[in-house]
């Protein structure tokens, strides 16, 4: 089986394709019935399976408005179709092919152009930039906190210094008193 898969993958690049997949909507014997959607492939990491997602509108009764909701579904992706991430695809419902898979990719409607990929990258970058300022704010808050702590410490040290100086003055005062007393004693003598 593995060698066959390798052969098919090698032939995927060529125009003539050999397809032994029974679940292929073109060459296989699978019956297509049910709902059909067009969506974008958001993941092609699984073998012969892709995740297709599309945006739909759902009415919110409370607000009498529509909200966007994202539908996400796994679909069988035969080697002869070979949909890749970013492709727009048409999928059709079939019998369950696995626990989560009951759709088949029928055709690739369009590949994502370079412009679109660049756009998406730009959007992601802007998102990151938007997310960064919050971090900066947090950092600033932390800095402010540390500054406050430093200020407190400085205050404390100042107060301690003041106390010390006051004590010194007191001591000197007592000394002067003693001296005065001595002087007084001298006078009494």
DSSP at 67: E
Q: Which tokens belong to 145?
A: 């906190």
80 lines the binding site for Zn ion (CB under 5 A): yes
Measured between alpha carbons, how far is 42 from 85 in angstroms, rounded to an integer? 5
11 lines the binding site for Zn ion (CB under 5 A): no
Min CB(120)–Zn ion separation in Å: 30
Sign of the CA dihedral with 120 first, then 125, 126, and 132 last = positive
How far, in Å, are 9, 142, 161 from residue 156 at the CA level? 75, 21, 9
Burial of 144 (0-12, 13-18, 19+ CB in 10 A): exposed
Min CB(131)–Zn ion separation in Å: 43
Q: Which is nearer to Zn ion, 39 or 78 (CB)?
A: 78
Q: Which is nearer to Zn ion, 11 or 27 (CB)?
A: 27
82 lines the binding site for Zn ion (CB under 5 A): no
88 lines the binding site for Zn ion (CB under 5 A): no
Beta strands 88-93 and 36-43: pairing type? antiparallel
Binding-site member from 20, 23, 27, 53 for Zn ion (CB under 5 A): 27
Stretch that binds Zn ion, among 23-31, 85-93, 148-156, 169-177 (CB under 5 A): 23-31
What sections of 64-189 are H helices per DSSP? 114-188
State which residue has the least CB distance to Zn ion. Answer: 19
DSSP at 15: S
Residues in Cβ contact with 50 at an 8 Å cutoff, skipping those fewer than 6 apart:
41, 43, 44, 74, 75, 77, 83, 85, 89, 105
Min CB(10)–Zn ion separation in Å: 16
Q: Which is nearer to Zn ion, 19 or 42 (CB)?
A: 19
Binding-site member from 24, 41, 50, 105 for Zn ion (CB under 5 A): 24
25 lines the binding site for Zn ion (CB under 5 A): no
32 lines the binding site for Zn ion (CB under 5 A): no
Q: Which is nearer to Zn ion, 41 or 104 (CB)?
A: 104
Binding site for Zn ion (CB under 5 A): 19, 24, 26-27, 78, 80
């Amino acid at each position: 089986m593995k060698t066959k898969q390798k052969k098919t993958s090698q032939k995927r690049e060529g125009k003539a394709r050999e397809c032994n997949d029974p679940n292929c909507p073109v060459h296989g014997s699978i019956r297509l019935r049910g709902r059909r959607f067009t969506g974008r492939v958001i993941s092609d990491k699984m073998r012969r399976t892709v995740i297709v997602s599309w945006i739909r509108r759902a009415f919110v009764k409370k607000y009498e408005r529509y909200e966007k909701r994202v539908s996400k579904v796994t679909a069988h992706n035969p080697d002869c179709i070979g949909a890749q991430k970013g492709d727009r695809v048409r999928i059709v419902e079939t019998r369950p092919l696995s626990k989560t898979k009951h759709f088949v990719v029928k055709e690739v409607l369009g590949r994502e152009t370079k412009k679109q990929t660049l756009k998406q990258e730009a959007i992601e970058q802007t998102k990151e930039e938007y997310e960064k300022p919050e971090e900066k704010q947090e950092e600033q808050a932390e800095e402010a906190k540390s500054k406050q702590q430093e200020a407190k410490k400085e205050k404390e040290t100042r107060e301690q210094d003041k106390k010390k100086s006051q004590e010194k003055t007191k001591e000197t005062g007592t000394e002067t008193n003693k001296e005065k007393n001595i002087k007084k004693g001298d006078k009494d003598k």
